[in-house]
Structure 1
Amino acid sequence: MDTSALRVVTKVVRAVPPATLRGSLASVPRLPPGPGARASVELLDAIHRFAPEVRLHPDDRYRPSSVPWYLQNVRMRRHRAWWPDVRILDVGEVNVNTLIAQRSGGQSSGQGADRTNFFLEIAANTTETRRGRLAIAECYVHFRRAPGTSTAWDLQYWFFYPYNGDITTGADFEHEGDFEHVTVRIGRDLRSVQEVFYHVHNTESTWRRPGEFSSTSEGHPIVYSARHTHATYWSAGKQARTALPDDHTADGGPVWQTWDHLRLVGHRRRPTAGQEWIRYTGHWGQIGTGFSWLGGPYGPAFQGYWLDDDSGG
C-alpha cells in the first residue's frame, strides 16, 4: 500500500468521525480510482474483521468505558513534587478540546512529544466512574507498518478502563486510568493473521502465533481481560506470574464485541476528528506515590508500544 492509500483512509475516517467503522466502510462513495484507494478500503475492512472479542471477567467490578464519558467525571491538575498540585480544570471543564489546550509551569498538555506532569483525577460520581460503562465503551484503533518490514501491518486495538482494581490483600495495586491493548499483525494480503501481541504487564507481554490463541467463528481473535488488572491474555484460567500476584481470567462474564464500537484515532500529530485526546501529554489518572505503576498511565501515543510493541511501555 502506498502513501496515497493512507491519505484516503484518513480522509474517509475524518469524513464520518462519529460513525462506527462499519458505518465508515458504508460511507465511502467517492474514493479516487486506482489500487491505492482499493487497498485503503481493504485495510479498513481488515481493521473491522480482526477486531478482538474481549471476554471480561465475571467478578471484575471495573469495566471499560469511552474516553469522553470518563472526561466528564474528572478534574485536571499539574503535579509538583514538593508543593501542592496546581489546579488546572475542574469537573465539568474537562473535554477533548480543553484537555489538550492547557499550559502551566512551562509544560503543554497537548503540544509536543514530551510527557508532562499534568494528571486527571476522578472527582465526581466516584463509584460509578470507577465501574466504567460497558454499554458505551469504545475501542480505539491505531494502525502502522509493522516495525522492520514493509510487507506486514500492525492493527492496534486500545481499551480504556477508568479504574484498575486491587488484586491482593495487603498490597495496594489500584490506580485510576488504565489503557490496555492487543496488536494484530496481518500480512501483505490484509487477510491473514501472522501473530497477535497480548499486552500483559510490560515485560510479561508476548506475541502468540495462530494456534496459540483462539478466534471466533468469524475470525476475531479472542482476548481475555484479567480480573481488575485488565491485562490481556489468550486463555481462561489462573495466569501465574513470577514474584507478583497471579492474574485470573475466565469465561462467563460480559463479552465485548469491539468491532461494533471502533474508533480510528489517527496519529499523534494528525488525530482524526473527535479523537484529539490522543495528543494529551499527561497522566490519565491520579499520580500515585511509591511504585511507578501506582499512578495513572500515559496515553497510548506516549507509550513505547505505540511505535513498536517490543519496546515496552
Structure 2
Amino acid sequence: MRRSRSCLSCVPMGTAALPIENHFVAPAALPSVPASDSEDGGFGKGSIDLGGLEVRQVTTFAKVWSTTQGGQDGLGATFFKPSPVPAGFSVLGHYAQPNNRPLFGHVLVGRDTSGAGGALLAAPVDYALVWSSPDGAGHFWLPTAPEGYKAVGVVVTAAADKPSPDEVRCVRADFTDACETEESVWSSDKDGFSASTLRPAVRGIEARGVHAGTFLAQSSATPAAAAGVSTTLACLKNNSASYTSSMPDLAQLNSLLAAYAPHVYLHPNEPYFPSSVAWFFENGALMYQKGSSQTPTPVPADGSNLPQGGGNDGGYWLDLPADGNQREKVKRGDLAGAKVYVQAKPMLGGTVADLAVWIFYPFNGPARAKVGLIPSIPLGEIGEHVGDWEHVTLRVSNFSGELLRMYFSQHSAGTWVDASRLEYLDGGDGGGSRPVAYASLHGHAFYPNAGTVLQGNSGLGIGIRNDCARGSRLDTGAGRCEVVSAEYLGVKEPAWLGFEREWGPRDEYDIGREINRAARLLPRSVRERLAKLVEKVLVGEGPTGPKMHGNWRNDEREA
C-alpha cells in the first residue's frame, strides 16, 4: 500500500509515524521571569505592539494538506492554517513545515489598534491560484492586496473554490518590509512548484522587519504565473517608536540564561581549553605596539589599559607570555575558571532577543584534513593562532520567552538549528534540560551533534576535519554567564570589549609550504586543492574580539 499524499492520518499500517505528527514539547517548562521594572516593559506578555498593529503568536494549527513524498529526507511536508485564532485578531497567512521534524513553529496574527483613519488591515480583493496538488486535495492561493496594501502570506484550501475574503487580511504597505526566502519546505520538479519559509531581507539591531512565520508558494505552470501575477510577499514592520520595549530587562535576561545557557562538550583529546579574559591577562598576556622598540606591556585583569576604538588598524595586538613555561600554561587555558560573555540584542524588529554567548580560548590548535581514504592528516602549524573567540546564539521569543533556535558558529559562518532539533542534557544529569553544543577538536567550531563534519568537498572526500565528541563539559550557566553588552539597556561594557585590534599576532607561515611538508605524498593537484580550501576556511591572522565580528550588529552569517 502506498502512503496517502493528502492525509497524515492515512499513513499505512506498519509505516513509522512521521516526526511532524508529534508536537515538539520542550524538555523543561518556560522559564519563570521576574516582572519588568520598566513601565513600558512588555517581555513575555503574549502580544507586541508594532506601532498600532498588535500581533500575537499562534502555535496551534489545523492541517489542510500534506504529502509524504519528496522534500527534506524524502518525507514530504504539511501545510496548516492557524487555529484557533484569538478573538478580534485576523490571519495574515498559513504555515508550512517539512515532515522530518516535530511540529514546532508559529505564525503571527494581527489586529488594528491604531484608532486612526486608514485601516492597517484590509481584506484581499481577489485570490490568484498558484498551484493545485495532483490529488486535488490542496490548493495554494495568493491574496490580491488592495491598493496601498501588501499580502504577507499564502492561503491553502482543501476545496478548489476560492477562499473567502475573510480568510486572511493584507497589511498596509507602511507596516510591511521586504522579505526573502530562507528554507525550502517542499518542491515538485514535475510542475516547478516550490514552498519556502520567509524572513526579513534586512536583519540587524536597528532593522525593523518582523518575521511573520508565513511561507511563499511559487509555480512556473499555474494560472498566476501565466497571468504575470507577482508572487512576492512582504514581511511585517515594527513602526513603534520604542521597538525594543518587548525586550527582556537585565533580571529577565539572567532568568533566560539560567534556563537556556548551553552545555558545551569539548573533545576528549582537546588540549586547548577556554578561560576567562581576566585569567588570560593575569597569567601574563602581553600587548604589543607596531613600530615600538619598548618591551610589550602587561594587561591588567580588567583590560583597562587596552586602546579603545580605532578599528583593526594593526597598531596593537595581544600575545601569550614571553616565558616559555608560562606560555605553554596559558595556551592550555583554565576550564575550571572559564567564563562566558553574553551580548543581548534585539532582532527581527524587536520581536526576538538574540543572546550571543561568547567563549574565549587563549589558543586555537592545528588543523587536520581528510583526503580520500586517508582519514586524518595533521597540517603542521596551519590553524594555530592565539586568542580564539567562538560563540553560539540563543534566539528567544519576546512574546513568550520560549527558545526558538540556536546558532552554532563554525569558523567563518555557521548554522541555525530549531529548538525542536537540538540535543538537550537531561535535568537528571545536572543539566537542567538545557541545550548542548559540541566544540570541535583544536578548532573549537560549534556543532549541534557529536561526530565528524568535513568542511570542503564531501563528494571528493577532501576537507578540514571538525571532530566532536563528549569529553570535558563546560556548563555555561552556573554563575559563568556575564552580560557584557545590551545597548538597549545601557549596560556598561568592560574595557577589553572595546579593544578592536587582534587578540593574537598574525601568522607568518606559508600555507603551501606547510601543506607540502605535511602531505608530501599526495598528488600535486590534491595539495593545491587543499591549500585553496585552507585559505577559504581558516583565517591566517590573529582574530579580533566579539565587537569586530559582523554579527555584533547584524544577523548571524550562515554557511
3-state DSSP of counterpart to 2:539: helix
Q: Distance in 2 between matches of 1:297 and 1:267?
A: 23
Match of 1:186 in 2: 396
Question: CA separation in 2, counterparts of 1:87 and 1:220?
Answer: 48
1:1-313 equivalences in 2 (<5 Å): 32=37, 34=39, 36=41, 39-40=248-249, 41-72=251-282, 73-79=284-290, 87=294, 89-91=296-298, 93-100=299-306, 109-112=307-310, 114-117=311-314, 118-123=316-321, 124=323, 125-146=326-347, 148-168=348-368, 169-171=378-380, 172-203=382-413, 205-217=414-426, 218-242=432-456, 243-251=462-470, 253-260=471-478, 261-266=480-485, 272=491, 275-289=494-508, 293-311=539-557
Q: How many angstroms apart in 2 are the aligned matches of 1:85 and 1:164?
A: 27
User: Normalized per residue, which structure has more strand?
Assistant: 2
Find the residue that maps to 1:278 and give its secondary structure.
Answer: helix
Q: Is the 8 A contact 1:53 1:221 kept in 2?
A: yes
Alpha-carbon spacing, 1:269–1:297, altered in 2? closer, same or farther (3 Å):
farther
1:103 aligns with: none
Relative to structure 1, the CA distance from residue 194 to residue 245 in structure 2 (aligned partners, 3 Å threshold; closer, same or farther) is: same
Secondary structure of 2:502 counterpart: coil
Q: Which protein has the bigger helix share?
A: 1
**Secondary structure, in 3 states, of the residue corresponding to 2:330?**
helix
| Greater RCO, 1 or 2 (C-alpha within 8 Å, sep 6+) | 1
Partner of 2:420, secondary structure, is coil
Compared with structure 1, are the counterparts of its residues 85 and 35 closer, same or farther at alpha carbon in structure 2 (3 Å cutoff)? same
Q: 1:170 to 1:185 in 2, by over 3 A?
A: closer
Q: Which runs of 5+ in 2 are unaligned?
A: 1-31, 44-247, 369-377, 427-431, 457-461, 511-534
Provide the C-alpha distance between the structure 2 equivalents of 1:87 and 1:312, rounded to a whole number of angstroms.
42
Distance of 1:238 and 1:281 partners within structure 2: 33
Output the amino acid matched with 1:234: P
- Partner in structure 2 of residue 105 of structure 1: none
Larger CA deviation: 242-251 vs 208-217:
208-217
Distance 1:32 1:195 in 2: 27
Q: In the alignment, which residue of structure 2 is the partner of 1:21?
A: none
| Deviation of 1:256 (Å) | 1.0
Contact 2:451 2:467 in 1 (8 A): yes
CA shift, 1:167, in A, is 2.7
- The count of aligned residue pairs is 270
Counterpart of 1:12? Answer: none
Q: In the alignment, is the contact (CA less than 8 A) between 2:281 and 2:303 conserved in 1?
A: no
What is the aligned partner in structure 1 of residue 162 from structure 2? none
Distance in 2 of aligned mates of 1:271 and 1:67: 22
Partner of residue 18, structure 1: none
2:365 partner letter: G
Structure 1: stretches of 5+ with no match in the other structure: 1-24, 101-108
Does the C-alpha gap of structure 1 residues 244 and 136 become closer, same or farther in structure 2, counting only changes over 3 Å? same
Q: Is the 8 A contact 2:345 2:487 kept in 1?
A: no
- The alpha-carbon deviation at position 192 of structure 1 amounts to 1.1
The aligned amino acid for 1:257 is D
Quick one: structure 1 residues 94 and 119, their matched pair in 2 at CA, closer, same or farther if it must change by over 3 Å? farther
The whole-number CA distance in structure 2 between the counterparts of 1:143 and 1:234 is: 21
- What displacement does 1:134 show? 0.6
1:246-286 deviation line (CA, Å, top 9, x unaligned): 110001x1111111201111258998557221101111111
Moved more, 37-46 or 128-137: 37-46
1:222 counterpart letter in structure 2: V
Deviations 1:26-85 (A, max 9, x none): xx9xx8464629852333311221111101111000000000111132111134xxxx56
CA contact (8 A) 2:450 2:468 kept: yes
Task: Please say if residues 304 and 496 of structure 2, whose CA atoms lie closer than 8 Å, have aligned partners that are also in contact.
Answer: no
> Using the alignment, how far apart are the partners of 1:85 and 1:312 within structure 2?
39
Q: What is the percentage of aligned positions where both structures have the same residue?
A: 25
Take 2:289 and 2:489, find their aligned partners in 1: how far apart are those partners? 25
2:463 is paired with a residue of what secondary structure?
coil
Moved more, 262-271 or 63-72: 262-271
Label 1:57 to 1:67 Cα distance change in 2 as closer, same or farther (>3 A): same
**Structure 1 residues 110-150: Cα deviation after superposition (integer angstroms, max 9, x where no partner):** 135x223111010241111000001110010001011x332
* Structure of higher CA gyration radius: 2
2:279 counterpart letter in structure 1:
W
1:158 Cα shift? Answer: 0.3
Q: Distance in 2 between matches of 1:280 and 1:271?
A: 19
Separation in 1, partners of 2:350, 2:488: 22
Q: For residue 19 of structure 1, what is the aligned residue in structure 2? A: none
- Aligned equivalents of 2:344, 2:499: Cα separation in 1: 19
